[in-house]
Structure 1
Amino acid sequence: MEQVRKPFQGTWNIIRFNWHFYVIAIIILIGLQILKSQSEIVAPHYLQTISLLVISSIVISLFVSSYIYDFSDLYKLNWLNTLDQDKSLNIINIHAGFDETSLLLKQKFQQANLTVFDFYDPLKHTEISIKRARKVYSPYEGTQTVMTTDLPLAEKSIDQVFTLLSAHEIRNKKERVRFFRELYRALKPDGKITVTEHLQDTANFLAYNIGFLHFHSRKTWLDTFRAAGLEVVEEFKITPFITTFILQKYGTTT
């Protein structure tokens, strides 16, 4: 398989698309050092502790991100080896404005008919990091812009759907359920949906501190799947920080 990801690409993307956070952190650290040298109210060791916490938070989050996005099996897709790669499947890959997986999926499922959907909405998805990423990376050829609640798919026409690190961007609960109901509608009776996400859990809190609030909890995902008529047939972790759910229509015999 052709190598399409460069060394430390994931870490570098995080830094260049979120550089404003690091600038803010540096300003805070400089301010703390100035305050430490001039303050007669706050004990210097308290300010030093705060500085160490800020530095530790940055280092830990970058270390974990490098492990996930550059050294784990996440983008090698070996964890999808149980799917039939030699069959002509109808596959949908859905992302939220930044697509790092469509080319990898096409390389892995070379016989498949791959369609790529982008549900990025600049009015809803206002994160500057996504806007920066979209300027750097060209969309996969033929990518279609879609609405989460109205996917241009025929009923019972799709074998496999992938939403890899994207569905959490659907922040509204009702919209998220409608999105998965759309996937349910388009899924063949024996079709599967692969959802890969960070969770709002202890591991991601330790890695990203308050940043973990951007993710959804495992309970939230399970409630969403159930409300959409889907059931989890397999659940596993690619790393301690990434969870994958394999879904099918509720009551389908596997």
Structure 2
Amino acid sequence: MVKKRKKFQGVLNILSFNRHFYVIGLLVLVILIVALIIFKIPTVITGIILGVFLYGFLMPLLVSAYVYDFSGYYDFAWVEELGLKKENPQQIVNINAGFDETSFILESHFPKANIQVFDFYNAKQHTEPAIVRARKVSLVYPNTQKIQTNYIPLEDNSVAIVFLLSAVHEIRSHAEKVLFLKECKRICAPNGKIITVEHLRDIPNFLAFSIGFTHFFSRKTWKKAFKEAGFATFKETKFTPFMSIFCCSS
């Protein structure tokens, strides 16, 4: 079962899950406009102030629409470009942080594989309103198992590919992230791969999300985490200027 994505679903998700930020932003915009009028700020300065505000307000939505609605991310053509389908994997694991938009799509791309899905969402730790709202509308893949980040209930060397798609940045502690990646490495077969897709804390994402880019981690941080987890290879492929695909193997 693959639920067809609606037009602009990516950006609509952003608006829905983060609506508290946008409501506050609109209130701030109204107050700002009133203040500029009351204090009779010169037109040029007013234009600059409003321009900066609107840039920070609208740019995340425009970039999100580009990445999630127009780049082909959810078509998963990039999976074929990485040569993953040619390997004909039998065992695939997909791990999410409480919001799953990809497991059914993976199933359609790997129809002969056994796909197991795990969710490391922790209600006590992951209390952001956006995550809570996302979980209410997330599709749940059959037999999805709840796990802790320090243990994946699978045997050693049993999985061909582990997909971590826009999920692991929710693990904010570096030590916890390394521990989780060690678990991913443990379940990977000798020639297995970990495929991680993430926004980075870099210039393009700063221009896109301004201060919001601090929610992501730098390439250096990811490389350090994978190295400390024991992975022998770390290869980055850019998927749009705003997202990176890390392919790591043991």
Q: Scaled by the length of structure 1, what TM-score is found?
A: 0.92
Could you say which residue in structure 1 is the equivalent of 2:73? Answer: 74
Encode CA deviations 1:7-44: one digit per residue, 9 max, x unaligned: 1110111111111111111111110111112226x666
Distance 2:137 2:165 in 1: 20
SS across alignment from 1:34:
helix
The one-letter code of the counterpart of 1:67 is Y
Give the secondary structure class of the aligned counterpart of 2:244: strand
Residue in 2 that maps onto 1:61: 60
Amino acid at match of 2:10: G
- 1:209 corresponds in structure 2 to 210
1:154-211 deviation per Cα after TM superposition (whole angstroms, max 9, x unaligned) = 1111111000000111100110000010011111101111011000000000000000
Q: Percent identity?
A: 43
Q: Which runs of 5+ in 1 are unaligned?
A: 250-254
Give yes or no for the alignment of 1:176 onto 2:177: yes
Asked if the contact 1:95–1:163 (Cα under 8 Å) also holds between the matched residues in 2, the reply is yes
Aligned residues: 248
2 CA distance for matches of 1:61 and 1:108? 30
- 2:233 is paired with a residue of what secondary structure? strand
- Check whether the contact 2:159–2:192 (CA below 8 A) recurs between aligned residues: yes
CA distance in 2: counterparts of 1:213 and 1:86, whole angstroms: 36
What residue number does 1:122 align with? 123
Question: Could you say what secondary structure the match of 1:116 adopts?
Answer: strand
Give the CA deviation at 1:49: 2.5
What secondary structure sits across from 1:193 in the alignment?
Answer: strand
**C-alpha separation between the residues in 2 aligned to 1:21 and 1:10?**
17
Output aligned runs, 1:70-149, within 5 Å.
70-81=69-80, 82-84=83-85, 87=88, 89-149=90-150
Aligned partners of 2:87, 2:244: CA distance in 1, in Å?
A: 26
Runs of 4+ in 1 over 4 A off after TM superposition: 42-45
Question: Which amino acid in the other structure matches residue 70 of structure 1?
Answer: D
- RMSD across aligned C-alpha pairs, in angstroms? 1.7
Q: Residues of 1 paired with 2:15 and 2:158: CA distance?
A: 40
Tell me if the contact between 1:36 and 1:44 (Cα under 8 Å) persists in the aligned partners: no
Aligned partners of 1:76, 1:138: CA distance in 2, in Å? 17
Q: Deviations over 1:128-172 (max 9, x none)?
A: 011111112231121110001111111111111000000111100
| Counterpart contact for 1:155–1:185, Cα < 8 Å | yes
Following TM superposition, by how much is the alpha carbon of 1:84 offset from its aligned partner in structure 2, in angstroms?
2.9
Greater mean deviation of Cα atoms: 202-211 or 69-78: 69-78
Q: Which string of whole-angstrom CA distances, capped at 9 and with x for unpartnered residues, describes residues 62-92 of structure 1?
A: 1111000001121111111111368351100
